[in-house]
Amino acid sequence: MIFPLTVDRILADRPRAEFGRSVLTVAAPGGTHVVLGGHDPQGSADGYPIGVYAAPAPGADTSALQAHPPALQWLRTGWRLRAAAFHPTLPLLVLGTGSYDGGYFFEGELVLLDLATGEHRHLFEEGCRREVRSLEWTDARTLRILLAPYDDWEDRAAWREGHRVDLVRPDWRTVPAHSVRDTELTGPRVPAALPEPTPAVAAPDTEEPRPGEIRSLTVLPDGDILLTADHVLLERWSARGQRRWSVPADPDLGGGRTSVALPEGHSAWVETLGPRHGDSGTFLRIDLSDGTERERLTTPGPAALVTTSEGPLLVPMCAGYGERARSRFRHGPHAIFRDIAGSPCVCDCPWDDDEDCDCRCGCPACAVQGPDAEVWLTTVDTHHTRHPADLALPAAVRCRRLFPWSWEPGETHSGGPGVGVGETDLIMATVRHDGRADLPVQGFVTRRSVAEGSTGIPSWIFPVDRTPTALDIDPATDTVLVTLSSGELIALEATTGAFLARGHVLVRGVPVIPTAVTVIGPGRILLGTSDARVLICCLKPT
């Protein structure tokens, strides 16, 4: 089922955030112009974004583009955009992509986009990767392509020369995917310099740091919103989208990971993004009226900020390889965290990049044997005698290990977001790794009991194909909302884990990647994105 979600309002926006500084302006038949853009995805596994936009009429104010008009079409490609050309008579657009792989090869693809249907087809046959440097329609049947040579091995001229190829098809609307054979891509050697992109149609350069991922969203009793992000420690926004104040990221500490407002309503504690696990943690108490710093606390070891029925609390976080010290559970009466036991690694192992890894290697100096090698889900017993503004690690006697983090013996699961349900249950997300340094191979959303004596065996398990980035529950509809690193939002029935809906979140026709989700009322949610947007969304009943 397609996710029944609409974006009511964009609370915080970043003009043309998805395109950076690389765009092409291409003339379409009849004199209409369309702007296409793309940029390096900064390590994104989902490829390079390309959007098709209507350009302003001649003489019109270009600020219309800066206001981010809706995308006419949108897709992602395996390499960055190099060239584009509209068909002279049909609603078709051909895209050429490519890049140098850093070793020998020039790789890329040829994509045909149907502007009427939104369908796109990759035309090169499977296994054929040729960088496209120039495209031109010589007539309605013939597409002229300039291709980079395969590689620059003993051929430095490959950077400024290529091969000219004419592809002829009687009807380009019916060209099948992967139908252009490698044998067709031979032609005379001609000048084919790498094209330079035109200046981006985007917001002007500023001295502000590049906006980054939204890490957390918290709604205050008066309806205002607190957000933490890569580029800010803490910001306060009104529900109507007015930024009241902002605390920029610290050069040494980075931005903010999460925040917890104090019960007195005048200040909030913020957990900073840096430094990395294995070092100390730094926490700032910020005045909510003007954003000034009231207090600063540095812990001797890694710790995370959590919210409980007794107010903000710190928990120890001895993270394993590839994880940062964090606890991403909320709404429960108790603090819950991932407890990794064992001594620090002291050998010169491949994973010991911070000199405090938890690789469980087999050398005599740091091997961990017996039950202490387990990774546990641990809770902190409530204690209401302390002052709610104080922030400190709980005494060891208050920390109770409940059950192993992974419900399957021998599996390695890393931490993810979670929410408390009532007094005894927890809905949580994890990802399974086949090795300490490997990418996650499987994600899960599960419901587990945290009652006294519970074994931790999930009452339901819902597998997902990407890493969960955020999770919350709508108690009015008993719906769990999970966002994934692919940009999808999934809705599950909280009691049974039954699938309800899934789909991508679109902003002006462009998919975004949600990184934070907070339910603000029945059927209404806040979404934070990887490009620093904050969206107020509505879930339509189905």
Give the pLDDT score at 439: 56
- Nearest Cα to Cα of residue 307 among 248, 353, 263: 263
Give the pLDDT score at 222: 92
The residue assigned the tokens 């009807």 is: 171
Residues 6 or more apart whose CB falls under 8 angstroms from that of 535 comprise 7, 9, 10, 11, 505, 507, 512, 526, 527, 528, 529
* Alpha carbon distance 507, 17 (integer Å): 12
Q: Per-domain residue ranges for the chain?
A: 17-191, 214-439+449-462
Kindly report the number of other CB atoms within 10 A of residue 24's CB atom: 18
For residue 442, the one-letter residue type is Q
* Stretches in the chain below the pLDDT threshold 50: 16-17, 19-22, 40-44, 62-66, 198-207, 277, 320-325, 343-346, 349-372, 436-438
Cis peptide before 275 (omega within 30 of 0): yes
* Alpha carbon distance 176, 94 (integer Å): 14
Burial code of 251-269, b = ≥16 C-beta within 10 A, e = fewer?
eebbbbbbbbbbeeeebbb
Q: What number of residues does the chain have?
A: 542
Give the pLDDT score at 195: 61
- Residues 479-483: contacts with CB within 8 Å, 24+ apart? 479/539, 480/419, 480/427, 480/445, 481/517, 481/519, 481/525, 482/429, 482/445, 483/513, 483/514, 483/515, 483/516, 483/517, 483/527
Q: How many helices (H) and strands (E) in the chain? A: 1, 40
Upper half-sphere CA count for residue 439 (Cβ side, 13 Å): 5
* Alpha carbon distance 148, 98 (integer Å): 9
* Alpha carbon distance 493, 125 (integer Å): 42
Residues 6 or more apart whose CB falls under 8 angstroms from that of 504 comprise 3, 487, 488, 489, 511
* Alpha carbon distance 138, 111 (integer Å): 18
Tell me which DSSP letter residue 65 carries.
Answer: H
The residue assigned the tokens 């993810």 is: 416
Contact 492, 524 (CB under 8 A): no
Q: 86-102, pLDDT tens digit by residue?
A: 999 998 999 999 988 88
Q: Give Cα separations from 17 to 72, 157, 475 (angstroms).
A: 17, 36, 33
pTM above 0.95, yes or no: no
* Alpha carbon distance 410, 374 (integer Å): 9
Torsional sign, CA 430, 432, 435, 440: negative
Residue 182 — φ and ψ, nearest 5°? -60, -30
Contact 269, 259 (CB under 8 A): yes
Kindly report the number of other CB atoms within 10 A of residue 370's CB atom: 8
Strand, helix or coil at 138?
strand
- Residues 141-146: contacts with CB within 8 Å, 24+ apart? 141/168, 141/169, 141/170, 141/172, 142/166, 142/167, 142/168, 143/85, 143/94, 143/167, 143/168, 143/169, 143/172, 145/96, 145/110, 145/185, 146/190, 146/192
Q: Which two tokens stand for residue 78?
A: 């395996």
Torsional sign, CA 333, 312, 251, 280: negative
Q: Which two tokens stand for residue 265?
A: 């309503």
Strand, helix or coil at 172?
helix
Q: 250-267, pLDDT tens digit by residue?
A: 888 899 999 999 888 899
Give the pLDDT score at 43: 40
Contact 350, 438 (CB under 8 A): no
